[in-house]
Amino acid sequence: MIWAFIPIAALLTLTPGAGFAMIVRNSLTGGPRAGFMTIAGNSIGVVAWALLSVVGISALVAASEAAFVALKAVGAVVLVWLGIQSWRRARAGLEMPAAPAARAHGRRALRDGLVTSLSNPKLAVFFVALFPSSSAILAASCPPR
């Protein structure tokens, strides 16, 4: 099972998406530390989706059209909000952060990566497709009433 997971996860990790755009943006504006912090936040979000799929939450999102649409809407709002923030900062002019501000930028980069990852409905569908047995196990463990 793990040998099937590794190439799929590597391919999807290398495919650019919202997380990749966030990593590039934060790396360009905040330097390597901000890029690494964004990667860490994104990775925490991926692990959270993996854990949620184990308990069946991602199966719920994939099975419920309303939950999936709500998650997509939240994700779109988050991405638009982050884009507007970037645009406003760019229009105000880029400044190199000082040492104390760099620490705050690192926390903001971690938060940006985490929020981008958690609001990505593609991850929910990915984990349901990859681990379909978790929803089957959950359904089997709950006897009908």
pLDDT at 135: 47
Q: In the chain, where are the structural domains located? A: 2-131
Q: Do 112 and 37 touch, CB atoms closer than 8 A?
A: no
Write out the chain's pLDDT in tens, 145 residues. Answer: 667 767 877 776 677 778 888 888 888 888 899 999 999 999 999 888 888 777 777 667 667 778 777 877 877 787 788 778 778 877 776 554 444 455 667 888 999 889 888 888 777 777 767 665 544 544 455 545 4
Torsion of CA 50, 53, 58, 62, to 10 degrees: 110
DSSP 142: S
Q: Do 23 and 39 touch, CB atoms closer than 8 A?
A: yes
